[in-house]
Structure 1
Amino acid sequence: MKPNAEKPFETKTEAMQKAKSHAAGTDAGSYVPPPQLLQSLITRGTDAQGNPIVSMPADAFTKLLEAALNPGFDEVSYLTSNSDIRAGVDSGSIPSGLRHFAAYGFFEGRAPLNCDFDSDWYIATYPDVERAIKSGQVRDAAHHFEVFGYAEGRVPSSSFQATVGEWHRLASAGSAAIDGGSTATKEKKPPGKSRS
């Protein structure tokens, strides 16, 4: 074998090192642009009930979501748990696990696997999970959360209850806004501000 030839198979350790190098390369993903640039991408308006709404191009939203998710995102775990994504990252067709998660995985209900998880609390809060474990449908509570619970909107521990409740409230308000129609208009720049 030539010294620079690629090996046909990589060991699990090599795969994890590769994932860590991908994760290290995503630090720039946490960059949030200055307000002037971000405002140029935002359209503000109101829904039929007069509630404020904001819209932006999907690519810009994905980059903003990527920046928000980057600090706590566990690239290694995400690629380990999602072999299809790891294959895409390895082949170069997907830039990183974080990019995939922000653009698709988040909306597919794939768990980011970096949250404070409390197995005892989860089982006590969701009795069906204990039944699923006993019947062999899932290995344990964490496995249930990873495969089903996150996408179902279940809470990983009591420390997240208030935050998840607030997201559900916002989602309900957002659904009402979408159902009621909107009158979005492009926000005008404040006088005296110039683009550079």
Structure 2
Amino acid sequence: MKGIIGKKLGMTSIYDPSGKQTACTIIEAGPCVVTQVKTTDSDGYNALQISFGDKKESRITQPEKNHFAKANTSAKKFSKEFRDYSLEKNIGDTITVDIFEEGDKVDVVGTTKGKGFQGVVKRHGFHGVGEQSHGQHDRQRAPGSLGNSSDASRVMKGMRMAGRMGGDRVKLKGLKVVKIFAEKNYILVSGSVPGHIGSIVYIQK
């Protein structure tokens, strides 16, 4: 496996010579610094810890400062371990978008937008109970019946009801690397990527 940490910048469109449009997400990937190398002998497994984004000096703790000093770099805001990294890297090395090539298929991990407490229509795609009638109103977006009455006398577990929506960790597999701008550390992947603009995502292959 190989991977990098990035920040979602937004979406755009790419056109090929035939005029076909491809919707793409722009991600600022790296440069990331290798801040720890874990091996089977010392830690029980092989992994690289890479870090991205500078952290404010006022928010750095002393243990963090010592940890990043070993890699001869400033304190970083985001760190992520990648198991069994396929590229040979040492502590302090820099990882950029050059580890990927145009046409590669990658997996992108992100956190979806948080939408707060939502009803069943938005959360589960319900159609509501129906139109208003005499003695019945404000039922268009209601969940309807929740099950039996006297037999179970309770709401069964797993019932689709209103509740908090979003904020889930999601992995999208098999997204195509459409274009790479190495000088700007930009990578364009096909389709949408979970998260709001400015959110942190992990790209791995």
Q: TM exceeds 0.5?
A: no
Q: Shorter-chain TM-score: what band?
A: under 0.3
Q: Bigger radius of gyration, 1 or 2?
A: 2
Higher relative contact order (CA 8 A, sep 6+): 2
TM-score of the two chains, using structure 2 as the length reference: 0.20
